[in-house]
Structure 1
């Protein structure tokens, strides 16, 4: 059985896939904490669809995938953030309008002009076949960049996440902080699409963060715990993907869902109820998080 587990590591494409899946899981787990605590879990799903529009446009004009889709995704994220801050419509409505229109445009472009880049199915559901060395390096660079952003802007991100109004009048540049978070989120989604896929990347942002919230009250602990859970799900899910011959994104998400069920069964419904306070409207977890900052 051990040999059967180790056999796939003899293939270069699989090793690259495992590295990317593990990094992607940890990266999404880290960013997912901020996204979930802001009550914006849907933005991961929506932004991945928006980036698909950039993926399609890049394919049509033969532009570098990371450059075209990255600019498109960041523009969509900033547009969502701008519309949301205007308070005329809610975040869910802004995400729904901007991202679904972008996704529809992407489908239309690929239908009319054809696909000249990465596989359409791989972009939707993830695949380890198309993982190149450049993908590994890009994801590693984005992961390092995100960690640096979180460390250097820890207090600003924390304050803006739990109480943006007070943070704004207290000298924290909330608009800048939000834009920075949207930047790392866009880069993370962009770098993980080839392994996890458009339709499933939102789950890798939400599941580790929710599981971590069920296990701890401390914000700092939640950050590393969510990252660890995401990385573990990526590692295990990628191995299952090879042995079951199922798309990598599917097995990674199912692995995360299984972890959620196991944690729920051990912690009980009371811990699950704590996740309801992740919505910023309740502010239930903010005092705990703020008082535990060292």
Structure 2
């Protein structure tokens, strides 16, 4: 197993430039997923994150077949599907989760059909589903950086409105806050976060990067501002440690990053100062002793 010093040496080795590039993309996507994931966790929208991961697949497949940018292709497909869901959800005969189930799974099926027409179908499908540490083009790094910056700016500008809608949708609607457009904006933000994470961590595992760091941060604090600081730190740290372990022991990068994040979540579940399992048991025991 490589020592941390040897890993750092490999990061600065010109012959292993893809390693530093992968760490950069994984860190940027982890930070973005950590922040956007806070809204997803607080609103109980984990299903949305999973559905978006399916929705971006046809865009990725089309971009792959046409030799275009996977990031831009995935964002276009995800945004189009999000708009369709938002529009069809206005029919109150169907609940939103039903519409999401129809369109997002159909999008994933379309992606499989499209990519099956490309040469090297099996290898390409595996790359999309599980990620590829060596498959990130240089131009996609700049696209990821610009996309992440734009989404973070939108999150800053609409943060107060997102929080109000999260706390009480009906009160927000009665106060004249455009709930529909805020929902659509959040769908688009989730889409971008998912797309830029797919190449490193894969389509199947990307939901974990969106949910697990935010869920761990939720256990550590009751304050949203602190949660939105901790979640990207947990995600970025998991990406760094996961990439180091996967490079050192020759493990799948995406799966290793997710497992590291999951270990952090489990530690928070047990050891969190106020909401951890041990602290809750100590408080319950103290109350029982008083009585």
Is 2:90 aligned against 1:90?
no
Which one has a bigger Cα radius of gyration?
2
Match of 1:203 in 2: 208
Shift of 1:64: 4.0
Choose which of 15, 20, 45 in structure 2 pairs with 1:15: 20
Task: For structure 1, list consecutive stretches of 5 or more residues without a partner in the other structure.
Answer: 273-294
Superposed CA RMSD: 2.2
TM-score by length of 1: 0.84
Give the Cα separation in 2 of the matches to 1:2 and 1:69. Answer: 34
Give the Cα separation in 2 of the matches to 1:82 and 1:208. Answer: 31
Distance 1:120 1:144, change over 3 A: same
Match of 1:260 in 2: 265
Is 2:33 aligned against 1:28?
yes
Match of 1:3 in 2: 5
Distance 1:64 1:141, change over 3 A: closer
Is 2:232 aligned against 1:232?
no
Is 2:129 aligned against 1:127?
no
Shift of 1:184: 1.7
Equivalent residues of 2:82, 2:187 under 8 A apart: yes
Distance 1:91 1:257, change over 3 A: farther
Shift of 1:92: 3.3
Distance 1:115 1:182, change over 3 A: farther
Q: Between 56-65 and 228-237, report the one with greater CA deviation.
A: 56-65
Distance 1:212 1:222, change over 3 A: same
Match of 2:149 in 1: 144
TM-score by length of 2: 0.85
Equivalent residues of 1:233, 1:252 under 8 A apart: yes
Match of 2:112 in 1: 107
Query: How many pairs were matched up?
Result: 271
